[in-house]
Structure 1
Amino acid sequence: MRDPLLPPPSRRPDVEDDFADGPDPALWVAHYLPHWTTPDRSAARFDVAADSLRLRIDEAQLDWRPEDAPLRVSNLQTGVFSGPLGSTRGTHRHRPDGLSVRTETPARLLWAPRSGRVDITVSASTDEGAMLAAWLVGTEHERAEDAGEICIFEIDAEAVGSSTVARTGIKAHGDPGLRTDMAEVTLPFDAARPHTWTAIWGAGETVIGCEGVVVRRIPQAPDCPLFLLVDLFEVGGRGGSYPKTARLHRVRGWSGA
């Protein structure tokens, strides 16, 4: 029997979006790490459905970077930061093979809490080669060492069924205060239907939950400002039918919760 999650704070969320009118521009940047690539490659594809925002991978969509092909992504994130053109400074230096700034991106910290809680309601993709993910990643705008990540979930389309396997945990990405601790968890339902993930972090602990129960309790947490990223990837090359889609229904966040 898994422990129940703590209820959300009684106060109103600091940020909230139900995507009824598309992504709130006061909260979201509709590009994936735009400083490491070019705008035509980083821009998200999406449309507004009756009860959600539908993230899309379109057939003609470009790879995020030519060096990473095949890899296409539609992403929303709660801010951006980069160093000057040609530098190696920028949010989420997740590759060790020479990322450098191709599009200088002025810092925008739309929501970047050091601790808090976020609840994310999504419907995962079942399209061939797709993966839906949500991460909290170090902004790196204060220190390059603030690079750690809370992986709230990564769900491969092939892992979705009557039960669903997801990856979740911590990725250090060179942050000296963290160690990578990832694990697979099994959810007793079809994650293609709407369901809610939760991350609560701060004071040296990260709690990750799904549908109101704790799925992981990790005795470490990033101690720096974090952006939230929610993204749909195509990771195995072109194939199957298009568009490939996943749905984002609601996000609520509390800083310092």
Structure 2
Amino acid sequence: MRLAPDLPAERLDRSGYELVVDEHFAGPTLDTARWLPHYLPQWSTPDRSAARYALGPEGLTLRIDHDQPAWSPEYDGELRVSNLQTGGRSGPVGSGSGQHPFREALVVRTAQPERRLWLPHHGLIEVRLRASPHPRALTALWLIGFEHEPEQSGELCLVEIFGRDIHPDGSARVGLGIHPFGDPALRDDFVQVPLAGDALDWHTYSVEWMPGSARFFIDDVLVAEADQSPAYPLQLMLNLYELPDGRPRDPAEYPLEAGVQWVRESRLR
């Protein structure tokens, strides 16, 4: 990954792109033709994988409440998550076939029909969000392969911000890059870059995803570029995690919240 100090000072140029999806979460209800409001539901049960969220004038608020159950205690301990994803599939209950098998010996607990709701394939992907400052929070937008073929499993991450990495003055570091998972054509290439400004304000995170490369921008400023990229359609994973740290969960600290004003996809004209 080449980082900003070694890159030319460059701003994102959208003039060659045509906007094809402009999701502002403006309706009274979530657009379920585009979003599945569950997190990797094949490895859990509907009551545990369901997202908690609200729609309002500023867009989407992802929320984790004190009474929210761990999403998959069988496989992932006390992790809690509110997630919207744009695709899903699995094999039958009892099989090991499902998206994003994040550890060995996973077994499908709730079978998922094949749903290809919004799967970009190259182009410009962007999100405007405000991260949660809670020290156990992780706010992220990442894209993963639909995994109809198991090796089509790479990840392209626009943004991940850990609440524990947000300092009292608002400065923070932003994770971005590529994880191969089961894709032999990719290598792990993931970095953290400094965020200019207050992480608790709204910021725009963008990736120009091209065949064989990817360029990452924060607030329209080029911060990193990679010489590889997934070569197949990817689904979006937009989420707020609560990462367990062994401390009691104090009801006074909830809800944890992260805001998303919009998510966009543009394609080259």
* Alpha-carbon contact 2:17-2:268 (below 8 Å) kept: no
Q: Read off the aligned partner of 2:30 and give its amino acid letter.
A: P
Q: Read off the aligned partner of 1:153 and give its amino acid letter.
A: V
| TM-score after normalising by structure 1 | 0.93
Matched residues in 1 for 2:112 and 2:201: separation?
Answer: 36
**1:6-21 mapped onto 2 (5 Å cutoff):** 6-7=13-14, 9-11=16-18, 13-21=19-27
Q: CA deviation digits over 1:107-143, x for unaligned, max 9?
A: 11111122122110100001231110110101002x1
Q: Read off the aligned partner of 2:145 and give its amino acid letter.
A: G
Matched residues in 2 for 1:102 and 1:179: separation?
Answer: 31
Following superposition, the deviation at residue 6 of structure 1 comes to: 2.6
Q: CA deviation digits over 1:192-244, x for unaligned, max 9?
A: 11111111212100111110011110000001110011100000245351110
Match of 2:126?
Answer: 119
Match of 1:239?
Answer: 249
Are the structure 2 counterparts of residues 54 and 150 from structure 1 closer, same or farther at C-alpha, using a change threshold of 3 Å?
A: same
Match of 1:159?
Answer: 165
Aligned mate of 1:130, from 121, 134, 137: 137
Match of 1:145?
Answer: 151
Match of 1:28?
Answer: 35
Are the structure 2 counterparts of residues 6 and 236 from structure 1 closer, same or farther at C-alpha, using a change threshold of 3 Å?
A: same
* Alpha-carbon contact 2:36-2:84 (below 8 Å) kept: yes
**1:31-42 mapped onto 2 (5 Å cutoff):** 31-42=38-49
Q: Read off the aligned partner of 2:150 and give its amino acid letter.
A: A
- Secondary structure of the residue aligned to 2:47 is helix
Are the structure 2 counterparts of residues 19 and 236 from structure 1 closer, same or farther at C-alpha, using a change threshold of 3 Å?
A: same
* Alpha-carbon contact 2:17-2:266 (below 8 Å) kept: no
1:71 aligns with 2:83: no
| TM-score after normalising by structure 2 | 0.89
- Secondary structure of the residue aligned to 1:40 is helix
In structure 1, runs of 5+ residues without a counterpart are none
Following superposition, the deviation at residue 52 of structure 1 comes to: 2.0
Match of 2:5?
Answer: none
- Secondary structure of the residue aligned to 1:14 is strand
* CA root-mean-square deviation: 1.7
Q: Read off the aligned partner of 1:98 and give its amino acid letter.
A: A
Structure with higher Rg: it is: 2
**% identity of equivalent residues:** 40
Are the structure 2 counterparts of residues 168 and 112 from structure 1 closer, same or farther at C-alpha, using a change threshold of 3 Å?
A: same
Matched residues in 1 for 2:15 and 2:151: separation?
Answer: 30
